[in-house]
Chains A and B, each alone.
Chain A
């Protein structure tokens, strides 16, 4: 398994390199000089020069990139253009919030998607199947933030079962954390559960027609065992790929859903940074996202190898 992880990591090196170059070049792509942004219109020439020097803007591009990368690899993503906040501190402080929202919604999406997909696949063309397929079609057309607003209207404002806004960290109160994360996670996970349900259904319908399923039934194994052990293990192989992609989608969606529930996560950080063209902050956010995506992809490969013996390196 270690070998698989190392192999995959090496394969991801070019990707990481390109992303880092793209991220770095954001500063150069900016139409205005960053020094202008920081100092404003009425600075002196001397102030501009100082800022340019501090940001390393007077260096040639390549050494600047090397320096930037070197510092980034050590966890130093620079300082915000607008205050003395360290980018890595700001990002790390909000990361757990967005992560727990993404993780819970991925879990919900997987459970709902599996249940609906399997139920539909067991009786193709039945009412269950049509209902699940119809639900999945609708689910993929509903914007997550609108669904969030509706959930707030019903379960927070009217029924008062959940808080309408805010986020409690898991470490301070697991129960309050669960209460604060439930509605946003459901809102965020809806579209992904629809996508997963579709994939589970089609994979399951295909697997259930395989010879080994009939052979297992012929051996007198119960329907339940054949469906959940023999069929599901194989049907999960393509589902894992979809889940991995959906986690990336959820990570992006979390940025928006956080706004509905006034959750102070990476989304709020990103929106503020964009409005101010706070490039170091944006760079930090992109790099964190990429690292998360890479971790998810690695995990996917490991799970994939576990489910599919043919994919293991021998």
Chain B
């Protein structure tokens, strides 16, 4: 395990740094391409080997040669020179159209956003109208009025793209004007102009920069397109778009003509877009202050299955439905490597029995349920132990076989019924689907059975409710549907993960009664996961208390409540509110459950425990018969007296 985890953590760290390095390389390459573009644009007369307009009909449509590195076009003009001069057009076009868009859009957006009312309404309807027409068509219409040519085409694109700057500026103003500091400035009598310039404008800068990069890329593509169809740069001037226009006409004679200008466009636009992504990411990081990643301290040494501290498996009973022995689950950590989240977990549930799995959030209860289903999810896996359901070892099954088991032999009810039902389908559809897929029922038979099931879980007018969508049902109703679906194939084991926590208190009791009722009828075993001891006391036969990924105490429910033996169990019990004594403030257990990866080396509760001794620094096994406890001092008079 330790070797494995070390190599995994190395791998994680390495791939992380590799990703950072490749992101840096991309940024450098993008900046290099754009710098090259600007240099070529400024120094075109010195770089270009020929005059871009110089014709030499004797040397038309030549391929690349030492005299003409990129060949010549239909009029014998040097392609490389024209490409270099095309850089100039690209830079001018991008600068011109983007500046026009910013200069038109931002002030107008600030104005209508700040002013609001009729102005805002009228301008926004106008913007909507423009945006609803394809962008190229808008540009074409404006060019129809202004006439063709580079600068006119760029004015057209500037007007077109000003709509996005207008909306951006307006959006920022609408959020900022409600901010406290802007309201304060207004109260102290600052002028509107001053408020706009001093308080609101600075907040526009970050999204504005991102929008500029997006616009520059779009302008370059649009300019090339307009020049290509002859509405932008006019021949004989060299732009990448007009060069492609020529290339398209001479495809059969010299296809290479299309390559240089095309690659120039793609490289430039790609660089701008990639740079925009980088800027957006870094601005995003600057805004959202991330939680400082904590490095896992004291890397946990996992208990090997045969190690002496491993608990004796729970005693075998004839009617056991589920037996888990020595289960260990790990998840991959953000910092790389894998961290154990469940260790040395053993439990058994008999037919018709309800076992409560109790503990604070983060103790690994839900994950235990998901491990039984084999649905730990991406980044997690079970590494040790056995999970036996009706005599079948589930961990040894293939994914296909496990799919067979799910739904048929074991099913799960989740915490929040409103999110565990698919919002896009009717609830009846979702039950019938399971019956058809798992039981092979016909459409008709499945629907009939669905209505029976919905009726059985106590929903009035079942035939009508079956056609309802989840959002049309109350939480309690939705949970009844989820229970009906889970029981549709009559599973031997039902895992209920906090099934009443998300519900209204008055509904909770009804759902608990329903569970009891259904268990009497179907006889399934129930693993009832909850953090609420009162609920557990109500419905469970036995209770297993979980803390930091391991079971610390197991006992029949009455015994556990009468004589809790683990200090953590006692802490939980004393934190339970009792209706009778309201006066003394509820005691709480100080501290919180330690995160996986930062568990204490010995007893994991030791740093929150009032009874710890030096011996608690070592791993503590779960001991006992019938009732089990993981505490060195269990039965110690001092600890018992503290009760």
Contact = CB atoms under 8 A, between A and B. Distances in A.
Given A26-B141, A218-B412, A248-B132, A146 B423 contact: no
Contacts of A285: 137
B440 interface: no
Nearest to A18: B129
B475 to A, nearest CB: 14
Given A210-B419, A211-B420, A252-B136, A141 B141 contact: no
Contacts of B221: 141, 143
Contacts of A219: 406-407, 411, 434, 438, 485-486
Interface residues of A, number: 70
Interface string A135-147: 0011011111110
A233 B424 contact: yes
Most A CB within 10 A of own CB, among B135, B225, B403: B225
A10 interface: no
Interface string A273-292: 11101010010011001100
B125 interface: yes
A30 to B, nearest CB: 6
Contacts of B407: 218-221
Contact of A149 (B248, B422, B425): B248
Given A146-B262, A219-B411, A270-B140, A290 B375 contact: no
A310 B406 contact: no
Interface stretch (B228-236, B305-313, B354-362, B582-590): B228-236
Contacts of B141: 26, 282, 286
Interface string A209-229: 011101111111111010000
A293 interface: yes
Contact of A225 (B437, B482, B485): B437
A52 interface: no
Contact of B414 (A137, A215, A249, A267): A215
B215 interface: no
Contacts, number: 215
B231 A271 contact: yes
A293 to B, nearest CB: 5
Contacts of B247: 149
Nearest to A259: B229
Given A30-B145, A220-B405, A211 B137 contact: no
A179 interface: no
B471 interface: yes
B273 interface: yes
Contacts of B230: 271, 275
A225 B420 CA distance: 16
A313 interface: no
A299 interface: no
Nearest to B429: A229
Nearest to A138: B270
A260 B244 CA distance: 10
A222 B471 CA distance: 25
B393 interface: no
Contacts of A140: 273
A153 interface: yes
A249 B135 contact: yes
Interface string B377-392: 1000000000000000
Nearest to B408: A220
A31 interface: yes
A303 interface: no
B397 interface: no
Contact of A220 (B135, B258, B406, B414): B406
Most A CB within 10 A of own CB, among B140, B247, B471, B489: B140
A14 interface: yes
Per CB-CB distance, the 4 closest pairs between chain A and chain B, nearest first, are A220-B407, A252-B134, A220-B406, A252-B136
